[in-house]
Copies of this chain bind each other. A is one copy, B any other.
Amino acid sequence: MGKTGVFFIGVSGYIATAVIAGALALKKGLSDRTGMVTELPHFNGLALAEPADMAFGGWDIRTGSPLESAVSLFKSAGLPSELLSAIEGGLIEVSPNICHGITTNCGRTIELLSADTATERAMTLEAQALKLRKDIAGFREKNSLDCVVVVNLASTEPPLEARPSHETPDGFEECVMEDRSEEVRASAIYAYAAILEGCPYINFTPSNALVPALVELARKNGVPVMGNDGKTGETLVKSALAPMFLYRNLEVLSWEGVNLLGNMDGRVLSDPENRESKIISKDGILHKVLGYAPHSRVRIDFVPSLDDVKTAWNFIHFRGFLGSRMTMQFIWQGYDSLLAAPLILDLVRLSDLSKRRGEGGPMTHLASFFKAPVGVDEHRYFKQAEMLFRYAEKAKESGVHT
């Protein structure tokens, strides 16, 4: 088994930083693997990439070194500074692997974050795709990597209306060649570049990166892809709890959710345009699990003082026997980045495995990791988890080419 690299879109963000810091901590034996799904017994005996051996790099539109990002994350999440000191060297080594990203059509709020939008505005879509491919290839060669997984952790883009050019690989290619830049957003160009480079692509954001054209292209090219929108907190709980109401034949009347968060994710989502994408992927699951649509609402509110400590309150009003009305509430208080990071390591490992197993197109067995899993209608968390466990079982049986 060769060496695996991870190339982040949004490498300076909290989640990417937590992934890198975590891998370095594992390397030093300073942390354990709590939170990593692929460390469950179900995966024993599968040849999976070792986080400690992974190389990291990626794009960002903001300036700032991995070390600076880590200082900020450690403060926000109350992580021990001894750990930071111990991994400082490793963080610095990531710097040469960082390239400037693109913000094509990402909306004003994201563009304002960018250190330089002038250069890319001068580039055609084709030129952008080429640049991104070169960035990936450079990372791969410099670090002698066997497989590079591209992971989208960038800020949420506004939703994108479906277009004919999103339907087929040829249509998409034509759109790129003709530089019809209003028809795509950055996340899709990244995905396009990754797929053409043969790199698995994980869309951990709600952005509309994996349009049907690119999923099809991935299938044709034998490149595994998956998304959308990592399921780390409120929606995870929702997908674990909603089936309980279903199986007990209790009628959910209303399910109201409020999310307070203060990190960069929260700042970008405080723009109603960008938030729209997120709310769509968060709110869809109730209907799909329950088979009917109760009154529901998902609020995402930016509360700067909270930084990375996401706090979600959910209020569930339900009807039982003899017309009785009852309630359940839950409050979730977690570090968004530290919940996401181990799952990213899982997704990289499993993408790398899929690649080696010669699988292309959507990795539907990864549905449990996403709020809006591509190609999967199952939203009950436990059913999704079982899909993953069954996949692991089969992979073990068939053996994995390393």
Q: State the A residues within 8 Å of B (CB).
A: 18, 21-22, 25, 31-37, 39-40, 75, 77-83, 236-237, 240-241, 243-244, 247-251, 253-254, 256, 258, 260, 295, 297, 299, 301, 303-306, 311, 313, 315, 317, 319-335, 338-339, 341-342, 368, 380-383, 385
Decide: A322 and B243 in contact? CB cutoff 8 A. Answer: no
A240-B244, A249-B36, A249-B39 are contacts. A320–B339 as well, Cβ < 8 Å?
yes
A301–B295 Cα gap in the complex (Å)?
11
A35 touches B330 (CB 8 A): no
**What's the minimum C-beta distance from A236 to chain B, rounded to whole angstroms?**
7
Q: In the complex, what's the smallest C-beta–C-beta distance from A382 to chain B, in angstroms?
A: 4
CA gap between A82 and B368 in the complex, in Å? 40
**Interface contact B295-A320, CB-CB below 8 Å:** no
Q: Is the CB of B299 within 8 A of A258?
A: yes
Distance in angstroms from A6 CB to nearest chain B CB is 16
Complexed CA–CA distance, A168 and B254 (Å): 48
Assess whether B249 is in contact with A342, with CB atoms less than 8 Å apart: yes
Q: Which residue of B lies closest to A314 (CB)?
A: B330
Q: With A320-B335, A324-B77 in contact, is A303–B295 under 8 Å at CB?
A: yes
CB neighbours of A32 from chain B (8 A) = 323
Top 6 A-B residue pairs of the complex, sorted by shortest distance between their CB atoms: A253-B305, A78-B78, A35-B321, A326-B334, A240-B244, A330-B330
Question: Could you say which residues of chain B place their CB within 8 Å of the CB of A315?
Answer: 260, 311, 313
Q: Which residues of B contact A324 (CB under 8 A)?
A: 77-79, 334-335, 338
Whole-angstrom CA separation of A299 from B324 in the bound complex: 25
| Residue in A83, A248, A381 whose Cβ sees the most chain B Cβ within 10 Å | A248
Q: Write 5 A-B pairs (CB below 8 A) sorted by A numbering.
A: A37-B247, A236-B244, A243-B382, A247-B368, A321-B341
